[in-house]
Structure 1
Amino acid sequence: MIKRFDNINFKKSIKEIIFINVGMALVVCGMYFFLMPNNLATGGANGLAIVINRFIPSFPVGVIMLMINGILFIIAFLAIGKAFGAKTIYASLGVSFMIFILEKVIPITKPLTGEIFLELIFGILISGVGMAIVFNQNASTGGTDILAKILNKFFHIDLGKGVLICDLCITIMAIVAFGLKLSMYAMLGVIINGFLIDALLEKINMYKEVTIISQEYEKIRKYIITELERGSTIYSAKGGFSNNTKNVIVVVIKKRDFPRLNKYVYSIDNDAFITVSNVHEIFGEGFRKISC
């Protein structure tokens, strides 16, 4: 049992690292190829680094990001915990290092297309998806993401909204560095990014709550445990029309598992009655830990 538990934790850790790396790569691509060449300071350590780089061009953006994140790492460890802090250090250092390498290997001196609005949208969409993936692994890419996580933990503000609040402060600072026009574009990007992250996280964390009424409830219960590796709740209910007592199974599963369960249930009981609801917040054993 202990060996199986360790194996599950190892697989979970590998999965987390893979997803964090994918998220990091997307964040870097969005920032470096689309936002940075247009001086779009759309918040975060990167946005603040772009503003500082404007006044101190001898300091590369990647180096400035490392300095900013170094201060915020301490805050992450103290306010949120070691697990979040460690993964955030890994992600933020990775993002800063990738940008630093790209600045040396593929220096970009001008925007790719010259269409600032087009590049803003592409940059925000790509980096926003990456940030949502990293957030979903209980990590962040550093910068104001850490502050957003703190707001989420202590004030229960949605992560996207927290990012929006923090990043708006940086876009206001960008007015001094780049003027009103670029800052307004950046502010638009910050707003889109905030809502995009919340929408993506909601979609990623959506589960299906399935209620099944069937005479073959015992077979279905075993299928859920052995094939879907999930628990379930079974209770007795009386039909309002038939007045007969029947067993009801309630299970919460991932979206991708529902078609399999649905197919199996109807393969053994054509008369089964199934209702399905979308669930966005689940806490407890087998899901996210309950946090205060």
Structure 2
Amino acid sequence: MGEKDAEVESYHVGDAYEGDPIAPICEDQTPEEGQRADAVSDKRTRGYQGLAFFGMLNAGLLLTALAIVVFKTPNHLAFGGTSGVAVVLSTLFPQLPVSAFMWVLNIALVALGFVFLERRAVLWSAYASIALSAYVSLFELVFPISSSITGDLALDVCFAVLLPALGSALVFDIGASTGGTDILAMILRRHTDVEIGKALFAVDIAIVCAAAVLYGPRVGLWCILGLIAKTFVVDTAIESIRQRKVCQIICKYPHDVEEFIVRTLGRTATVQIGWGAYSGRRVIILTTVLTRREAMRLRLYVRQIDPGAFITITSSSEIIGRGFRGVN
């Protein structure tokens, strides 16, 4: 094959390609269709706002508070963070519940945040810290639990890890945080050269060691496992929520697929002109990034119009650009 055969030219939907028999479908879009597509893309880019943002934030905090009251406190599971410190302190000072210590710790961290950080930077973290303390107090009244509700420590540890992980994933996905030690992390990041991850991990280890001394090696070892599992489960939950599908399609009817992506799915695509290494024939390669549901619809459509189409679909949790939220 010569140099010409090795060339691969690319253009985006809407760009002209001289001599290409498959015209970009955006040339046929009406102004109304173009405005509607832009509005949909802008909405996706902005992500959660207003009531949706507030609802997602509180849903994540409610799951975290439920885990603290129902699973962590009765079993003395101190995985770290303000809740771990509160569990330990409630044992040392049994006159006060876990929620009381969470109020004290979170208010202290919020005060430090307003002193050492810009008000805008700490505002939502301050709200999350106070709201989480309030939800813990509420659940302590609704569920006055003093012992394990399942009688199985292993099962309680699982839910003590899973519920906050899901809550954190919901909160992080909208670009917020659950407050507490996140405020401490922001302060360290701004005013010191301390490696934040190592500093916070050292604090968590100290809390786990205190739990092992107070509650015995059995609970201490479960706390260590919970601390390790929390890191992996939170990361997995966040990646699962943010996961998108990168799709590449080579088929007989690329124009129809391009039209389906733009007009039916409300997405866009990149079109590449390539050549098959074995056949030497020119092919049209469509690349697009979709949600899981959209990828399934695209796959079914392509298989319907061309059963012999070549489709590759890969997962990605980091998609940055217009049409996808900036928090990704």
Shorter-chain TM range is 0.7 to 0.9
Amino acid at match of 2:323: G
1:109 to 146, 153, 165: 146
Question: Equivalences for 1:82-121 in 2 at 5 Å?
Answer: 82=120, 85-121=122-158
- Name the CA distance, whole Å, in 2 between partners of 1:61 and 1:99: 8
Q: How does 1:204-283 map to 2 (within 5 A)?
A: 204-283=241-320
Work out which of the residue numbers 227, 242, 262 in structure 2 matches 1:190.
Answer: 227
Q: TM-score, normalised by structure 2?
A: 0.73
2:210 is aligned with 1:173: yes
Q: Which residue of 2 is the match for residue 135 of structure 1? A: 172
Query: Measured at CA, do residues 232 and 146 of structure 1 come closer, stay the same or move farther in structure 2, by a change above 3 Å?
Result: farther
Which residue matches 1:55?
92
Gapped runs of 5+ residues in structure 1?
none
What percent of counterpart residues are identical? 32
Q: How far, CA to CA, are the matches of 1:227 and 1:91 in structure 2? A: 39
Cα distance in 2 for residues equivalent to 1:134 and 1:151: 21
Give per-residue Cα distances to partners, 1:170-215, cap 9 Å, x unaligned.
Answer: 2123344434443222222111111111122222222111111234
Please, which runs of 5 or more residues in structure 2 have no aligned partner?
A: 1-34
The 8 Å contact of residues 78 and 207 in structure 2, kept in 1 or not, is answered as yes
For 1:256 and 1:151, the matched residues in 2 are separated by 40
Name the CA distance, whole Å, in 2 between partners of 1:158 and 1:216: 52
TM-score calculated relative to the size of structure 1: 0.81
Structure 1 counterpart of 2:66, from 26, 29, 38: 29
Q: Provide closer, same or farther for how the CA distance between residues 41 and 54 of structure 1 changes in structure 2, counting only shifts above 3 A.
A: same
**2:231 maps to amino acid:** G
Contact 2:70–2:143, Cα closer than 8 Å, also in 1? no
- The CA deviation at 1:7 is 6.7
For residues 206 and 192 of structure 1, the distance between their equivalents in structure 2, rounded to whole angstroms, comes to 21
* Matching residue's letter, 2:84: G
Q: CA deviation at 1:260?
A: 0.4
Q: CA deviation at 1:165?
A: 5.5
Give the direction of change, closer, same or farther, for the CA distance of 1:31–1:274 in structure 2 (3 Å limit): same
Does residue 17 of the first structure (1) align with residue 50 of the second (2)? Answer: no
**C-alpha distance in 2 between matches for 1:152 and 1:196:** 24
Closer, same or farther: CA 258–60 of 1 in aligned 2, 3 Å: same
Match of 1:144 among 175, 181, 187: 181
- Please provide the CA RMSD for this pair: 3.7
One-letter code aligned to 1:49: A
Per-residue CA deviation, residues 144-171 of structure 1 (Å, 9 max, x unaligned), is 355568899999x999x99766522321
Tell me the amino acid that sits aligned with residue 24 of structure 1: L
Distance 1:252 1:4, change over 3 A: closer
1:223-254: per-residue Cα shift (whole Å, max 9, x none)? Answer: 21222222211121112233222221100111
Q: CA deviation at 1:17?
A: 2.8
Question: Which structure has the larger Rg over C-alpha atoms?
Answer: 2
**CA shift in 2, pair 1:245/1:167, >3 Å:** same
- Structure-1 separation of matches of 2:196 and 2:241: 15
Q: CA deviation at 1:79?
A: 6.7
Bigger RCO (CA 8 Å, 6+ sep):
2
Instruction: Give CA deviations for 1:37-69 in whole Å, capped at 9, x if unaligned.
Output: 122212121111111222233443223213322
- After superposing the two structures, state which structure 1 stretch, 194-203 or 86-95, moved more: 86-95
Q: Which amino acid aligns with 2:68?
A: M
Structure 1 letter corresponding to 2:159? F
C-alpha contact 1:43 1:144 (8 A) present in aligned 2: no
What residue in structure 1 maps to residue 101 of structure 2?
A: 64
> Which deviations, in whole Å up to 9, do the C-alpha atoms of 1:66-113 show, x marking residues without a partner?
332234346767679946x44333333222111112223432233324
For residues 226 and 86 of structure 1, the distance between their equivalents in structure 2, rounded to whole angstroms, comes to 40
